[in-house]
Chains A and B, each alone.
Chain A
Amino acid sequence: MKRKHQRALFVGAGLAVLALATTLVLNSLGQSLNYFLMPTEVLAGEDVPQGTFQLGGLVSDGSFEADDEMGVSFQVEDGSSSLSVVYDQVAHGLLPDLFREGQGVIVEGQWDGSQFVASRVLAKHDENYMPPEVAEGLKEMGEWRGEETP
């Protein structure tokens, strides 16, 4: 095998793997993108995704309720509006440790027109309790009351 052939083989193999990776990426990216919305944006009704998306905001004080079948419901607010979220712990797992009333939260699920049916409640495991997307959204709404990072 000549050096020219070896190089051609490398380039060919590289392109083949690149093509494979690109195909995989394009195939799965569209279905795995989750848009992030605040309650006001959902209630405005424009561009609310049909499928799964992420909703962020603060868990309203005093809104948390649990039923006897481990289903929970709570309100997520962004200062100007709030909407109700239901979550079934038996189907999707126990609520994470960092979930509390008055704290920022991101829930993943679907909007059925009257309530948000969550399939995942997210808690990032870093030292900041406020998910950055939520902090950003609240700032845009003019509702940010937290401390600035020093």
Chain B
Amino acid sequence: MIAEIGHFALIIALMLAVAQSMAPLYGAWRRNATLMALCSPLAWGQFLLLGVSFLCLTYLYVVSDFSVQNVFLNSHTQKPLLYKVSGVWGNHEGSILLWALILAFFGAAVAMFGRRLPQTFKARVLGVQALIGVGFLSFSLFTSNPFIRLNPAPLEGQGLNPLLQDPGLAFHPPMLYLGYVGLSIAFSFAIAALLEGRVNALWARWVRPWTLAAWCFLTAGIALGSWWAYYELGWGGWWFWDPVENASLMPWLAATALLHSAIVVEKRETLKSWTVLLAIVAFSLSLLGTFIVRSGVLNSVHAFASDPTRGVYILGFLFVVVGGSLVLYAVRASTLQAGGMFAAVSREGGLVWNNLFLAAATGTVLFGTLFPMLADAFGYKVSVAAPYFNAVFVPLMIPLLLVMAVGPFLAWKRGNIAALPGRIWPAVILLLVGLGLAIWWQGAAAPLEILGLATGIWLLASVLVELAGRINLFRTSLGGSMKRAVDLPRGAWGMSVAHAGMGLVVIGMAASISWEREVISLKYPGDSSTLGAYEITLQDVALKQGPNYRYHEGTFIVRRDGAVIATLYPEIRNYTDPVTQTTEAAIYPLISGDLYAVIAESGANNIPGEPKRWGVRLYHKPLIGWMWLGAFMMFVGGGLSLSDRRLRVGVAQKAKQAEASV
């Protein structure tokens, strides 16, 4: 019964989406106010129905109704409640439903907050939003229906991969989806702007907060996924250039570019058509990301053959969205008025630099990710290994980061390059001191690694110097500086916090790669290993019982200069449904970096009667925690910027009135 309610709600939602994609767009074309006014109630209705549908599916998971195929394939009665719920979106069908729900949620949000938008514009935005919704809902209903029944109903479900039973991963997909779908709003605004033939500061003021919010969620989603890989996969790595990871990185890069070019549109009313193009590209990459992760088409074009309907649908949908919007862009972009002029050395110039390099980086990642598919079409089975991405991505990021440090010092329109050294010299000193300290602390490293580290420190230092300049630090009384700091717009704080976060991320990456120490060995309980200054003893391995698994727990005692400073408990978990073994790394964060321990069944020929030997992998990863802290600061920085008064809708209204009165 519940499954049928969910199914039915999904069907009605599709019908509303079809209506919403036609009436307001037609109404906007014919200037029919009644038809245009339909967009808001339809958007709301679609959201409510999808909410019902999603709740129904969640309920089916919670009560473990295995008469529903999707629940049977992806859940199990023994699973903890959290993972029953996260199992809803831990599979293809459920995740597409979640996607459609978030899309409808954002549509409803535009309907609610967009009361002050020009009527035709709002109708067009919601119409385009509904067109995407039609695409997703029909994909769900016709190829990936989560409500299909099984008869007879099995007694027990097939479970969920225990690797995915993890709090970090439970919230990773929804975060990413909030980001992907958030970009749909930027896309809808871009298409609506092309239809209207108008892009102005007001448009940018609408697009920017949505892009910023999407960017925040993408940042959080990527960081969560990377953190999960770091502690769950037990290899000590946090980024593998896997297609699945690239799928989330590309929209992030494009969203970062869009975020910055939208600032130029808002402040200076220039770079308009480029910004519109970026909005289209960013959302197209989100679509690509969603589909390639869940459908597996990336690993092999032959995946299409095993499920032709899905594959053909995906290709067709991508073709319509990407092709259609690019054709519209080609036809209409020339109607957008060119904006103000600016010098090469200026804030705009810096942002253009940012966009160029981000676009190039996105392009190279896209090429590397899609190349295996391309080769497969010609009969070659190849994969593009991580060295390609490192060799291409890093050299494109370094010039970007170097200018990212300088950009905020430059004035809009025409920057004074002669005055730059006078303002930025403290950052040079901070850079030299920081780099010196790091090398004194950890020793030398390869030149490229030092370059990476220097880039991160340079970025962090210049953010601090720029902020100090803004609040007149050391030039006025401390109280005066504090007051200026409090009065600083939230947007300025947001930029500084996010940029500093990026600096921390880069420092964390470079330091943890340059100065990582690693020991892999076979150990009897009681044996010790030396890892830099630390002596680590495997004290004991005990067999224990968890909620739905049994596990071996190793106890490692960490000593420094003879004194115990930490105890680590890595686990090997054995799940029964399905039979799977997972490794749980134990991580102990020290100020100097993480201590990371993994144990494994060694499989070595153990002598009967003797204690068993265990495979032991130990790491010291200097400053790796800075990466997670930095990512968190980027998220917070985006949030601060979002809360800036200047970005609120009321201000946009005043700006519009001012514009109308001109």
List chain A positions with a Cβ less than 8 A from chain B.
1, 3, 6, 9-10, 13-14, 17-18, 20-21, 24-25, 27-29, 31-37, 54, 64-70, 72, 89-90, 93-98, 100, 108, 124-129, 131-133, 136, 148-150
Would you call B385 and A125 a contact (CB within 8 A)?
no
- Shortest C-beta distance, B526 to chain A (Å), equals 17
| A93-B235 in contact (CB<8A) | yes
Report if A67-B604 is in contact (Cβ < 8 Å); known contacts: A32-B384, A32-B385.
Answer: yes
- Taking CB atoms, residues of chain B closer than 8 Å to A14 are 356
**Within residues 288 to 311 of chain B, which ones have a CB less than 8 A from any CB in chain A?**
296, 299-300, 302-303, 306-307
List residues of chain B with CB within 8 A of the CB of A150: 69, 73
Q: Name A32's contact: one of B342, B388, B396 (CB within 8 Å).
A: B388
Please give the distance in Å from A76's CB to the nearest CB on chain B: 16
| Residue contact A21 to B598, C-beta cutoff 8 Å | no
Residue in A31, A89, A98, A136 whose CB lies within 8 Å of B520: A89
Among residues of A, the one whose C-beta sits closest to the C-beta of B393 is A24
Are B603's CB and A72's CB within 8 A? yes
Contact between chains at A33 and B615 (CB < 8 Å): no
Option from A28, A127, A133 in Cβ contact (under 8 Å) with B299: A133
Q: Please, how many angstroms separate the alpha-carbon atoms of A46 and B367 in the complex? A: 29
Interface pairs (20), CB distance under 8 Å: A6-B341, A6-B342, A17-B360, A28-B392, A34-B383, A34-B385, A35-B381, A36-B382, A37-B381, A70-B520, A90-B521, A93-B520, A94-B617, A97-B233, A100-B581, A125-B229, A125-B242, A126-B244, A131-B299, A132-B296
Whether the Cβ atoms of B522 and A68 lie closer than 8 Å is: yes
Residue of B nearest to A132 (CB): B299
Q: Closest residue of chain A to B301, judged by CB?
A: A136
Min distance, Cβ A69 to any Cβ of chain B, angstroms:
8
Pick the most buried of B74, B342, B381, B521: most chain A CB atoms within 10 A of its CB. B381
Q: Which residue of A lies closest to B584 (CB)?
A: A97
**How far is A136 from B235 in the complex, measured between Cα atoms in Å?**
27
Determine the chain B residues whose CB is within 8 A of the CB of A128 once the complex forms: 296
A75-B264 Cα distance, complex, nearest whole Å: 59
Question: How far is the CB of B578 from the nearest CB of chain A, in Å?
Answer: 8
Q: What's the minimum C-beta distance from A22 to chain B, rounded to whole angstroms?
A: 9
B161: nearest chain-A partner, CB-CB: A127
Q: Using CB atoms, name the residue of chain A closest to B391.
A: A28
Contact A3 B617 (CB under 8 A): no
Distance in angstroms from A128 CB to nearest chain B CB is: 7
CA gap between A75 and B341 in the complex, in Å: 66
Q: Say how far B279's CB is from chain A's closest CB, in angstroms.
A: 18
Q: Give Cα A32–Cα B338 distance, bound, in whole angstroms.
A: 43
A56 to chain B, nearest CB (A): 9
Q: Is B580 an interface residue (CB 8 A)?
A: yes
Q: Which residue of A lies closest to B164 (CB)?
A: A127
Where chain A touches its partner, the secondary structure class is mixed
Task: Scan B386-430; emit 1 where CB is below 8 A from any A CB, else 0.
Answer: 111101100110000000000000000000000000000000000
User: Do B69 and A32 touch across chains, with their CB atoms under 8 A apart?
Assistant: no
Check A24–B392 contact: CB distance below 8 A: yes
Q: Which residues of A contact B580 (CB under 8 A)?
A: 97-98
Find residues 211-250 in chain B having any chain A CB closer than 8 Å to their own CB. Answer: 229, 233-235, 242, 244
Instruction: Tell yes or no: B371 within 8 A of A by CB.
Output: yes
Q: What residues of A have a CB within 8 angstroms of the CB of B300 in the complex?
A: 132-133, 136
* A-B complex: 8 closest residue pairs judged by Cβ atoms: A32-B388, A66-B603, A28-B391, A36-B381, A132-B299, A21-B360, A24-B392, A32-B385
| A1-B343 contact in complex given A18-B360, A127-B91, C-beta closer than 8 Å | yes
CA gap between A125 and B380 in the complex, in Å: 24
Choose one: A13, A24, A72; the contact of B352 (CB below 8 Å): A13
Contact B356 A28 (CB under 8 A): no
The answer to whether B242 and A124 touch across the interface, beta carbons within 8 angstroms, is yes
B602 close to chain A: CB less than 8 A: yes
B363 adjacent to chain A (CB < 8 Å): yes
Q: Which residues of B contact A1 (CB under 8 A)?
A: 341, 343
Q: How far is the CB of B345 from chain A (nearest CB, A)?
A: 11
Chain A residue at minimal CB-CB distance from B384: A32
Does B357 lie at the interface of the complex (its beta carbon under 8 Å from any beta carbon of A)?
yes
Do B600 and A94 touch across chains, with their CB atoms under 8 A apart?
A: yes
Complex alpha-carbon distance, A25 and B365, angstroms = 10
Nearest CB in chain A: distance from B5 CB, A? 23
- Across the two chains, which residue of chain B brings its CB closest to A94? B600
Contacts of B306 in A (CB 8 A): 148-149
Flag whether B163 is at the interface (Cβ < 8 A): yes
Contact B299 A66, beta carbon cutoff 8 Å: no
Q: Looking at the complex, which one of B74, B235, B368 makes contact with A96 (CB distance below 8 Å)?
A: B235
Alpha-carbon distance between A66 and B583 when the two chains are bound, in angstroms: 19
Q: Is the CB–CB distance between B356 and A17 below 8 Å?
A: yes
A66 to B581, CA, bound (A): 18
Q: How far is the CB of A30 from chain B (nearest CB, A)?
A: 9
B532 to chain A, nearest CB (A): 18
Instruction: Please determine whether A97 and B583 come into contact, CB atoms closer than 8 angstroms.
Output: yes
CB < 8 Å: which of A32, A93, A129, A149 contacts B617? A93
Residue on B nearest A6 in the bound complex, by CB: B341
Contact status A32-B161, CB under 8 Å: no
Q: Give B334-362 as 1s and 0s: 1 = Cβ < 8 Å from A's Cβ atoms.
A: 00001001111000000011001101110
With a CB–CB cut-off of 8 A, which chain B residues contact A97? 163, 233-234, 580-583
Most buried by B among A14, A96, A136: A136
Inter-chain CA distance A108–B552, complex, in Å, is 30
Closest residue of A by beta carbon distance from B389: A32
Q: Say if the beta carbon of B119 comes within 8 Å of chain A.
A: no
Verify if B477 is at the interface (C-beta below 8 Å from A): no
B90 within 8 Å of A (CB atoms): yes
The answer to whether B360 and A33 touch across the interface, beta carbons within 8 angstroms, is no
Q: Give every chain B residue within 8 A of A133 (Cβ-Cβ).
A: 299-300, 381
B604 and A68 contact, CB distance less than 8 A: yes
| Interface contact A24-B341, CB-CB below 8 Å | no
Name the residue on A nearest B582 (C-beta). Answer: A97
Q: Determine if A25 and B367 form an interchain contact, defined as CB atoms under 8 angstroms apart.
A: yes
From known contacts A21-B360, A35-B382, A96-B233, infer whether A68 and B605 are also in contact, taking CB-CB under 8 Å: yes
State whether A66 touches B296 (Cβ < 8 A).
no
Q: Hey, which chain A residues are within 8 Å of B244, CB to CB?
A: 125-126
The answer to whether B522 and A95 touch across the interface, beta carbons within 8 angstroms, is no
Minimum CB–CB distance from B154 to chain A (whole Å) comes to 13
Tell me the minimal C-beta distance from B176 to chain A in angstroms: 14
- Contact (Cβ within 8 A) A94 B605: no
B364 within 8 A of A: yes
A residues less than 8 Å from B296 (CB atoms): 126, 128, 132
